[in-house]
Chains A and B, each alone.
Chain A
């Protein structure tokens, strides 16, 4: 594989170590950056994250990284992968800790799993679970139609009304597990914690 230039956005939320390790394993030399100018000019972006949507969005806004990401993705047409909270930040907004507006790349809002939906299941949704992908997906190339990935989350997007190539997972209700449309890619699960399956998905993203 060529050595794609990938910039991991560092906005102080969560551990970047495992994402960076996985990218290195795939032959990349990822940069980490919290500099808006660098992020706006990046070839390929990776937006990770674990934690609260509100805190994350405030961190992105205070540093101007939100506008830098928007410029890279929507003006310069650069490829981006959002992981877990990173995917949720790409939505229209979230109800976590009060309503907060997101980056708006994915036409859906993020809300918590309801007890009616999940029935006897526990929250957070933690562990390996089966993801059902669409045959047109780039991210799931060379993977089975149903593949196991590692999840840790209590908030989710629902697939209805979203345009794009979607993958879903069932946890009492069908929720959005992965999204791709043009240059925007996102996974609710953690590919960097999903063994060979996750490494394949990351490789696919790099090669799109």
Chain B
């Protein structure tokens, strides 16, 4: 039986790794800092997948990002998904040649949903992760935002999720902008936006503050993976302990070690 997953997401901007709260970024440290102070090599042994996103505001530099990705993926022996501003097959290929196994796309979905098919036919459907940043409007309806949460797109989130569930994607990364970086726990109401017939794996993101939030997310049968992007909530042995607690509470995560 396929296992559920614990995903760690790193947010990158112009050479630095960032904390995000409601999509406002705060600089934490560069690659060297991440590798030495945060002990990334140890953290990477407590996760099932790594997501690295270039969330740089303003002009992105793909070559610099690919360089950081290559350095990071070198010590990370789990699948790696990478993205941020990907809008061409060539950009996707560059990421895949820099250590990524999958490509994350977001804003380009709303510009041209056929881009999903182009990527899938070039690299295979398993290679495409559709990421969606979602926020509820004043009328209580969930809508999607692109370009690092700066542009609200027409159509409801439910509509877009429905479209994507029919498209050749490998999985859906569903992120709550309201919970992002708050530590209040996942917005489980996002799961009600999924079609009943959803056959694509869902990664739930946005809002984790502690291990019990991870457990609540993973316990929902509609969730295949939970993500956290908070660099400080699980510092030290935090992630390792959280993982052990999840496994001993009966959540079906992969077990590492002999």
Binding site for B on A (CB under 8 A): 15, 17-18, 21-22, 24-25, 50-51, 121-122, 124-130, 142-144, 147-148, 150, 152, 170, 192-200
Q: Secondary structure at chain B's binding surface: helix, strand, loop or mixed?
A: loop
- Given A194-B77, A195-B256, 5 more A-B residue pairs with CB atoms under 8 Å apart are A21-B75, A124-B124, A125-B2, A126-B2, A195-B254
Q: Is B140 an interface residue (CB 8 A)?
A: no
Partner of B5, one of A21, A128, A143, A199: A128
| A124 with B101, Cβ < 8 A, contacts A15-B96, A150-B79, A197-B257 known | no
Which B residues are CB-close (under 8 A) to A18? 73, 77, 80, 99, 101
A21 touches B257 (CB 8 A): no
- Would you give the shortest CB distance from A98 to chain B, in whole angstroms? 18
Q: Is B74 an interface residue (CB 8 A)?
A: yes
A198 touches B77 (CB 8 A): yes
- Would you give the shortest CB distance from A194 to chain B, in whole angstroms? 7
| A144 with B77, Cβ < 8 A, contacts A18-B99, A128-B2 known | no
A128 and B124 alpha carbons, distance in the complex (Å): 19
- Would you give the shortest CB distance from A184 to chain B, in whole angstroms? 24
Q: Is B97 an interface residue (CB 8 A)?
A: yes
B97 touches A148 (CB 8 A): no
> Across the two chains, which residue of chain B brings its CB closest to A122?
B199
| A21 with B3, Cβ < 8 A, contacts A126-B126, A196-B256 known | no
- Would you give the shortest CB distance from B61 to chain A, in whole angstroms? 20
Which B residues are CB-close (under 8 A) to A21? 73-75, 77, 99
Q: Which of B1-23 contact A (CB under 8 A)?
A: 1-3, 5
A196 touches B3 (CB 8 A): no
Which A residues are CB-close (under 8 A) to B48? 128, 195
Which B residues are CB-close (under 8 A) to A195? 45, 48, 77-78, 254, 256
Q: Is B170 an interface residue (CB 8 A)?
A: yes
